[in-house]
Structure 1
């Protein structure tokens, strides 16, 4: 069929208009090994619903710390993404520096925001001074991963409920020929497991702007770590190597974030995998820190179309449909009410290993950021101190605690 010249002109004009209407936004997120599959699952439905928006994915952040450092550098260089995914404990620095922008104007323009699953409990994770700066995307809690084949071979039938029981299980397994009974995730991002041991005692690592490393609870946490590492003869594995080793069926027990469950299952060897609640110091933990991340608007564009497109993307990935993909492809729990109560109504019943973290939700506590400009440096001080326990370089926990207190004090705004 031949087209007239007029028809051809009209078709070309329509194509030009469509090209002009196409809006490109840039997006950056952490942990490609966890989330690549999530965004791949989301994109077809998003493209169908919003064909005029192109999402350009930037290089993924290695960790939450890397994500914060990267955005801080990009702010200086004037090269910020339109939307960034940041750890729940890393939102405050971007707000303090005016990098993350209030979402209140966008929320106010939404007709049924709460009905879409965005309720106060969810928004509180990213609310500062009564202003919403982010929409939480995923929430995680620490859990135990167990290779039941190795445990049974090592003489263990019941999952341990306390760290003393974990240590006893290690010794039994070692006595029965199990070379590598445990990996305990001390090197997870943001001193998360340190905070887990403190919250287990109902103690926050930051209180009234002060880091509580001089507390009796901190000494208990350090001594508990020392016992686990030494008594279990734990190998000092880099965290990615530890996840790969557990997935390959080489480690009996792994204590890590539920976030990695999807990745572990996708690469799992031929063994029975069971998850269990995070053990406590003396009975069940009194609290546990909420891990996870939130989507934040950092666009510097003056174009309303770009900013609207960034909001559309940000809202979609945290909506019921978007957040449901988080649960399906990872071990994270979506904080969106619509995802959990409607879309995923039968999901956890069919996926009991992912139910473990949901059962621990009553223990949810804040994952706390350290105050001042040196928050990331304080994170590194604590990381380095724990590594000294793992390697055996530090053996006196009271002495190590005092060193930590002094080093961190030098980094705090008030000394």
Structure 2
């Protein structure tokens, strides 16, 4: 009984719910592995959503097991099956209960990495020597996490967001103390209560990600010079206590009349040039999410367009190509700066990251928007993993956003 409990404990500890995508987990992974993706049904058959999703997981694992049995003895993937059974037997795990639009599982004998997806993937499974990660790249490729600095002329709040929700963060004690020393009404202290004033720091959480911002009383009319000083203090508080070495992009949300004054004193390295030019007091959670995604998507699309437009000039000087062999060699030499791939394009075949050799299997240019054959490795997925290992930017886009008619294109760090 004790041994059984210890086994269950170790199994539970081997299942990791990931906040971001770390390419390091792709290195030196002992084969075999299973990559499994399922959509999560929030409205359809809501009364038995968990059963519906777990049944899909179970069916895909049966497909994976059949594929693994063709190439491996059962002991070679025993750990994968044990972890899958554990996941199915524990429907109360947070990863099931708090799922977004989809879930991705990278499963090995030793560890399982679980990803909450902001989009609903096609049900798919791949089993073999390497993980299949392209759906994850779509989830993480454009910086899906961000902060929002909600700013007024006498108060501010700090919000964390992603593709599916925004949530106001409780400010740390250091910020609390910092402003208490500067402003008499910066905290809900007894003195403030006597003044019938609310504090300059807003700790209200967006209830259910949809609550109102904060219907607050303002301080006395704030003069422009006082507002400028306030903005400097906010800038310092965010720099010193909230971001430090964090590289997550920051969206400024404030009334347009305050934007210039804040940006004039701002030293936040990762503050985005485009912000939300609206008073945050007038935005509920849903509106704030929509405005934030519009900013993030606009920057993403502009970045894709700018990089794609560089392709022609760079190709003329040997610094870009849409030739598979040339891209494979550049990946082997670790000199790919940006990799473009068409969304939904599957290219069965192999890629040797050490030699750069690319081999095609059957039709070299199929399109498969649905189920992925777990027995067929995908060249583009292998390209993506190699690009990740050298910190290249990866863009999975529609064909009309590609720099050429080819399903794959790359820009290099330097010419051959």
TM class by shorter chain equals under 0.3
Q: TM-score, normalised by structure 2?
A: 0.21
Q: Compare CA radii of gyration and give the structure with the larger one.
A: 2
Q: TM-score, normalised by structure 1?
A: 0.21
Query: Relative to total residues, which structure has the larger helix share, 1 or 2?
Result: 1
Q: Which has the bigger relative contact order, CA under 8 A and spacing at least 6?
A: 1
